[in-house]
Amino acid sequence: MSTRRSFLQSTAAFAIGMSGLRQFVAAGETSSLSSTDRFGELQDDPHQLLSLPPGFSYCILSRTGDAMEDGLLVPDKPDGMATFEGPNGLTVLVRNHEIEPRQIGPFGNRAKLLSSIEAEKLYDLGEEGKPCIGGTTTVVYDTTKQQVVRQYMSLVGTMRNCAGGPTPWGSWITCEEATDIVGANKFDEGPAVICQQNHGYNFEVPATAEIELAPAVPLKAMGRFRHEAVAVDPATGIVYQTEDVDDGLIYRFIPSQAENLAAGGKLQALAFVDRDSTDTRNWSGAFSIAPSSTHPIRWVDLDNVESPKDDLRYRGFASGAARFARGEGMWYSNGDIYFACTSGGAAQLGQIWKYTPGPAEGQLGERTKPGALELFVEANNSKLVVNADNLTVAPWGDLIVCEDRDGDEVRLIGVTPHGECYTFAHNHARTEFAGATFSPDGSTLFVNLQHRGLTLAITGPWPHTV
């Protein structure tokens, strides 16, 4: 199966699940969320880590500090992930690590393993041998044997790699949720790490089963800001981006060359056709943007996109771009771009938006045939959405939603296409779930317990695909 066809199939069911989520939120609160009707009651885990329905099981495939096949160590705080088809039926899992110098990195204590890699491939070496330690790891996994074939560092020297998104051409875009500049001090328990590079960029990581540390090339034309997630429209190659701040923008990057983001392009910000500098957050108590309303969209050109003053969002807003509340997860499906704003809404409990590109998206004729933005969901009462972070689509059409909170019984929530919600899992580790994603063959759900530094593989009697 081609990479592009696999990408399209993996996103096709997402809109079905999103429609179900919308129905659930529109119906208001539920008295209880239970897995009983979908998979059965959750079973106690004798290891007190993860409770799952009958017939399901998990294994820990990776943990912070494990030795990898490249001689480095698995870094801390695993976050966003995506899977790709590997050779001979293997799964290639690319995994972010949202770490700063105070966390456990790939080089061990006092960066003793730093000399084992090619220094020119590390993005920010820091001063005095104290490098930035964020990046991505790649896990090659055999789902038939449910075991790791190999894992290795695939990008290193970045900072706070939070989310990102897969591309139709078989790579992962990893996003830095940081805007530290040259000379910035990042403290851990010892001396400061002093940045030698600016941060706040996207980086592209090939999805390959062979041990390969990708050159850390910042995609500067895509803008420098607190990136969260991206989604690529395979019809146009345009990349849409979220910004994780309370007064952020939604961005569009039009590449100069198809499937070559490093060749540069044009960065723009989303604006409403009928009004400038729209505040979409609805924080005033009255709806500035009504739920279920749809609005024609234009795109504002941005300059000085490397933004040395970290003011890109302010300049964009002053030029007419709309303001959003903490843009996070983003996903392409069936011609639409969905994205979540974590603190949006009158109760600041979250919004989900749907952008439909116009028939002339990114071309000269788009002003007469603009794209449309809909406030798809504003959940001012739903406990599900206030806790939701990463979303993924199951092969049979359900959404699987990660709860981003600490405390007892943090959950993975399922949402059926009919809007029925259920608890698929809860963890006893008192930490957020992150990066949920299914293997290409649909047999395995991968997910992270972020603050425990664990990546899990979950298997069981999944439903048939849609």
Q: What is the mean pLDDT of residues 39-44?
A: 93
pLDDT bin (cut points 50, 70, 90) of residue 270 is very high
Predicted confidence (pLDDT) per residue in 183-209, tens digit: 877 654 445 678 899 999 999 999 999
Whether the pLDDT of residue 280 is over 70: the answer is yes
Whether the pLDDT of residue 284 is over 70: the answer is yes
The count of C-alpha atoms lying within 13 angstroms of the C-alpha of 316, restricted to the half-sphere facing its C-beta, is 35
Distance CA 401, CA 382 (A): 14
- Domain assignments of the chain as residue spans, ordered by start: 9-61+381-457, 69-221, 226-379
Which pLDDT belongs to residue 189?
A: 47
Whether the pLDDT of residue 62 is over 70: the answer is yes
DSSP state of 45: P
How far is the CA of 209 from the CAs of 125, 205, 241, 366, 373, in angstroms? 26, 12, 27, 40, 38
Q: What is the mean pLDDT of residues 78-83?
A: 96
Which pLDDT belongs to residue 345?
A: 87
pLDDT bin (cut points 50, 70, 90) of residue 20 is confident
Distance CA 117, CA 151 (A): 15
Predicted confidence (pLDDT) per residue in 145-154, tens digit: 999 999 999 9
- In the chain, the percentage of residues whose pLDDT exceeds 90 is 67
Which pLDDT belongs to residue 370?
A: 96
Q: What is the mean pLDDT of residues 100-109?
A: 87
Q: What is the mean pLDDT of residues 35-42?
A: 82
What pTM was estimated for this model as a whole? 0.94
pLDDT mean across residues, the chain = 90
Q: Which of 76, 98, 158, 154 is nearest to 124 (CA)?
A: 158
pLDDT bin (cut points 50, 70, 90) of residue 103 is confident
In this predicted model, which residue has the larger pLDDT, 381 or 126?
126
Which pLDDT belongs to residue 232?
A: 97
Q: Judge whether 135 and 157 are in contact, CB under 8 Å.
A: yes
pLDDT bin (cut points 50, 70, 90) of residue 31 is very low
Which pLDDT belongs to residue 336?
A: 92
**Phi–psi pair at 195, nearest 5 degrees:** -65, 140
Q: Which of 72, 83, 84 is nearest to 116 (CA)?
A: 72
Distance CA 458, CA 10 (A): 18
Whether the pLDDT of residue 33 is over 70: the answer is no
pLDDT bin (cut points 50, 70, 90) of residue 141 is very high
Whether the pLDDT of residue 354 is over 80: the answer is yes
In this predicted model, which residue has the larger pLDDT, 143 or 407?
143
Q: Judge whether 60 and 47 are in contact, CB under 8 Å.
A: no
Q: Token pair for residue 431?
A: 């930490």
pLDDT bin (cut points 50, 70, 90) of residue 168 is very high
Which pLDDT belongs to residue 32?
A: 44
pLDDT bin (cut points 50, 70, 90) of residue 2 is low
Task: List 184's β-bridge partners, or say none.
Answer: none
Which pLDDT belongs to residue 65?
A: 96
Residue pointed to by tokens 């850390």: 216
Residue 145 identity: K
pLDDT bin (cut points 50, 70, 90) of residue 342 is confident
